[in-house]
Structure 1
Amino acid sequence: MLLDIPGSQLQQGPPSMQVILTHVRRKLFGVLLCSLSVACVQDSGPVTKGGDTSAPTDTLRQGVVYGVDDRKDYYAHSDATLKKFTRESTVALVDVADLDTSNPSSIGFFSQTLQEAQGLCSDQRFLNDPTAAFCSGTLIDNDLVLTAGHCVKGPLSCASTRFVFKYYRTGATTLEPVTSEDVFRCSRVVVRNASTVGGRQLDYAIVQLDRPVSALRAVPAPVRMDSVALSTTTQLAVIGSGSGIPFKIDSGGKVLASRASTLDFFVGDTDTFGGNSGSGVYAKIDGSYLLAGILVRGNKDYVKRIGPAGECYVVNVITSIGSCTDAICSAEAINYVRPAIDAYCAVATNTRLCPGQGPATPVTFDFATSGTNNATRNTVAQNVTLSAGETLYVGTAMVMYATARGDTYLRLDRYETSTNTYTGVANNDDAYDSLSYIRYTAKVAGTYRIRVGCARDSACAGRVSYIIR
């Protein structure tokens, strides 16, 4: 992330808040811009900046505002419950380099305005908002945050990310003061998935903070624990930092497609942007809002407007979505919460999120090796016994007590009694940066062998941890 402190200026705010504006274009990390029916591509964003122009001479069919732009600031929204979630349960993911922590009682942000960052035309909304966040998240327990898997990819991003509460406006020109008590570090990523597994497109992470959040400062959001699809037309509300700006509440969305056959994600017409990745999406069920999803991807954020005065960018608006089915729908993809909770409860114990769940009992073994050619030789191995239907969770990361140095590689083999040989059934290289993780459900009972080595012919060492459920 680029930072141009010498060329910055201080934007005046309330006594306990400062926003330091930088005049270089920031790149938001949490942007996945794609239609659900096509492959994701990274948007190059605005390439030039210009004055306001006439009506656009070219348009794109896809967009991220569906009909009317329903986004509202915290101070402007009327729903007390959603305001409470904004105030107490929502976090902005901010790169540590973009925080000014020199005064613990007044944390500042190094940031461009939204207009500067996106090259927006002067008739667009929220032009003077700072763009400090790259993703969003939701507090689901005293020290746990739920976000998108692509927002926190591994140890390096864990170490460089800060989780910031109170990133919202209290008035048209004022931000809620943020102190060091509102800023948290990432202690570890407990579970993470950002892949397609068995036809399910998953994108989630649960992060453990460096300390519990005081109940006086924040309260975990109520989580929808059901493993059933949301019905279409269910009312949705999303809270997060679209394009990196202070939290906005959009309560005008609804479910368009539920993907009941896979229960990986549902599709909604929420007005969301890059930076909303990881945002909590609440479903209104029987009159109450429950955290039902994680915003993970969607359509193109901004489109170019070309006119006599030059170029600038405007919010990409869809006035009609057309047909929307589980197979194809050009709108916003929202992962169901349940797969993330299930993954967490498989490797951890938590009375709030995993009621009735027995304690996780990891087994560990140490290793130190080199020259393993992707764990095909010189490996350190341990056998385990699995019954049909049991699931093995094993890793050099993402299982309690697992740790490693170097680029690790894991393999899992099944023992074939008829031939007295082993057959590979699963392997992983970089599930968590350079570390490895396998989740495998046994179809056949028997003896299985865990092998750990290093990527290519490098050296690595650490501790493998595994749990059988």
Structure 2
Amino acid sequence: MRTLLLSGAGRKLLGSLLCTVSVAACGPAPEGGAPEKGQEEGTTAQPVVYGTDDRQDVYAHPNATLRARAMESTVALMRASSMTTDAQGRVTFNASTLQSAYGLCSSERFLTDLTPAFCSGTLIDDNLVLTAGHCISTCGDTRFVFNFYRSAAGQMQPVTSADVFSCSSVVVRKQTSGTPNLDYAIVRLDRAATPRFNPAPIRAGNAAMPVGSKVTVIGSGSGIPFKIDAGGSVRDARPSSLDFFVASTDTFGGNSGSGVYENTDYTVAGILVRGETDYVSNGSCSIVNVCAETGCRGEDITYVRPAVSDYCAVAGSQRLCGTTNPPPSIKFNFTATNTSNATVNTTNQAVTLAAGQTIRFGTCSVDGATGTGDTYLRLTNSAGTSVASNDDSCGVLSFASFTATTAGTYTIRAGCYSNGSCSGTVAYTVQ
């Protein structure tokens, strides 16, 4: 299928890209062109079906391991306004049906499924979720919902407040174009999801996916309860860049951020990020866009290894990094006011980088980093040109990374958003 892609800006004004409807919120917009599937922050690109529509509800899928990945490791990203919790902790969802949200013809599948999700994700450690970078740039009011699947025909698995998690911080995030073309984020939840839920294993190494190999996507395409699509295959592995691979997965908007599994050991090989258009007009209603198995553009899937490597460069995890100790960091303190987004009146720290070295710096997400107020960090090169900056990576605190293409002396400039006042400790690592 095709995937829906959404990417975008939104820093301070992290608006809800889903519909802001009180009871009948619409689901993720269909994708089109080359953007991604997500719906959080910007551009849209939709999913499509290749050959046979292989999507199946969780209860109906014959593979026990894939059912377990859906039930134990998969999350739907939703807005807080997309759900209601009663006094007993039972959660109900505020959203339109798939048919209503997309104006689908009565011939289409899953018409009565609700559409509250805007992206998908995968639990990869006790309190870490892997998703697409375009799905989340700041924590905002995003909720990470487990158990969003059908347990039998016409029956939803009950969801309670214990299944709903908030975002504590966006630990790493990258959304680039060109080569490499990367789109990923790893989010720290407000509490551990284990042992009730189980992290999905990550594919070892960084080898290209073999062309023709089968892959599975699990997530909330078009915002509906989790579906398992095990019928995709790799078309283009992009071995020279290892940034993303292209596959014929049946995926839609809302599948952005979904875990993509290789079908041998069922480890996470990538993150669904963009693809073909989801739906096309058929008279007065719309139908799924169907391509030949080898037709259309295919769905783009970011390799998982860059995201994990990025995470392990700033944080620790026995499961992901082989150590619970974060890498050693260098720190400096600052107090600032009237810095106009870290362009004047800043506290500065010079750092020498060799070509190919990566610096990760923040008032959050790096060991020893802290902040009070709305911090803003900027990195400039020897000419004084800004090469990286960040405002709200973790709430109102900041984190950014930069890989030097040329050796030189760079400067971290610590300041505050706009002309406010703030203070803290900037911590940074060089890899």
- Fold-level match, TM-score > 0.5? yes
Residue identity opposite 1:336 in structure 2: Y
TM-superposition CA deviations, 1:83-109 (whole Å, max 9, x none): 010111111111111111123442111
Q: CA deviation at 1:351?
A: 1.0
Q: CA deviation at 1:441?
A: 4.0
Please, which of 93, 103, 109 is the counterpart of residue 87 of structure 2? 103
* Cα distance, 1:330–1:460 mapped onto 2, change above 3 Å: farther
Mapped to 2, the partners of 1:152 and 1:425 lie a distance apart of 23
SS in 1 for 2:67: helix
Mapped to 1, the partners of 2:225 and 2:320 lie a distance apart of 28
Mapped to 2, the partners of 1:126 and 1:179 lie a distance apart of 23
SS in 1 for 2:87: coil
Counting only pairs closer than 5 Å after superposition, residues 35-434 of structure 1 correspond to structure 2 as 35=34, 42=44, 64-154=48-138, 158-196=139-177, 199-215=179-195, 217-284=196-263, 287-306=264-283, 311-319=284-292, 321-322=294-295, 330-355=297-322, 359-386=326-353, 390-400=357-367, 401-403=369-371, 405-406=373-374, 408-414=376-382, 424=385, 426-430=387-391, 432=393
Please, which of 424, 427, 452 is the counterpart of residue 414 of structure 2? 452
Mapped to 1, the partners of 2:390 and 2:169 lie a distance apart of 19
SS in 2 for 1:87: helix
SS in 2 for 1:288: coil
Q: CA deviation at 1:75?
A: 1.1
Residue identity opposite 1:451 in structure 2: R
The structure with the largest alpha-carbon Rg is 1
* Cα distance, 1:203–1:444 mapped onto 2, change above 3 Å: closer
* Cα distance, 1:261–1:403 mapped onto 2, change above 3 Å: farther
Judge which range, 102-111 or 73-82, deviates more.
102-111
Q: Answer whether contact 1:134 1:243 (CA < 8 A) is retained.
A: yes
Q: CA deviation at 1:405?
A: 3.4
SS in 1 for 2:144: strand
Q: CA deviation at 1:194?
A: 1.4
Q: CA deviation at 1:201?
A: 1.0
TM-superposition CA deviations, 1:227-266 (whole Å, max 9, x none): 1111100100000000111100000000010111111110
Q: Answer whether contact 2:247 2:301 (CA < 8 A) is retained.
A: yes
Judge which range, 435-444 or 291-300, deviates more.
435-444
Mapped to 1, the partners of 2:34 and 2:294 lie a distance apart of 12
Q: CA deviation at 1:462?
A: 3.4
Instruction: Report the count of equivalent residues.
Output: 406
Q: CA deviation at 1:63?
A: 6.2
Q: CA deviation at 1:148?
A: 0.6
Mapped to 1, the partners of 2:132 and 2:371 lie a distance apart of 23
Mapped to 2, the partners of 1:77 and 1:330 lie a distance apart of 27
Residue identity opposite 1:337 in structure 2: V
Q: Does residue 461 of the first structure (1) align with residue 428 of the second (2)?
A: no
Mapped to 1, the partners of 2:293 and 2:70 lie a distance apart of 29
TM-superposition CA deviations, 1:37-80 (whole Å, max 9, x none): 9xx9537xxxxxxxxxxxxxxxxxx9600011000001111001
Q: Answer whether contact 1:36 1:330 (CA < 8 A) is retained.
A: no
User: Unpaired segments of 5 or more residues in structure 2?
Assistant: 1-15, 37-41
* Cα distance, 1:77–1:428 mapped onto 2, change above 3 Å: same
Q: Answer whether contact 1:25 1:116 (CA < 8 A) is retained.
A: no
TM value normalised by structure 2: 0.86
User: What RMSD, in angstroms, separates the aligned Cα atoms of the two structures?
Assistant: 2.7
Percentage identity across aligned positions?
Answer: 48
SS in 2 for 1:303: strand
User: Unpaired segments of 5 or more residues in structure 1?
Assistant: 6-21, 44-61, 323-328, 415-421
Residue identity opposite 2:422 in structure 1: A
Q: Answer whether contact 2:115 2:223 (CA < 8 A) is retained.
A: yes
Mapped to 1, the partners of 2:221 and 2:312 lie a distance apart of 30
Q: Answer whether contact 1:410 1:436 (CA < 8 A) is retained.
A: no
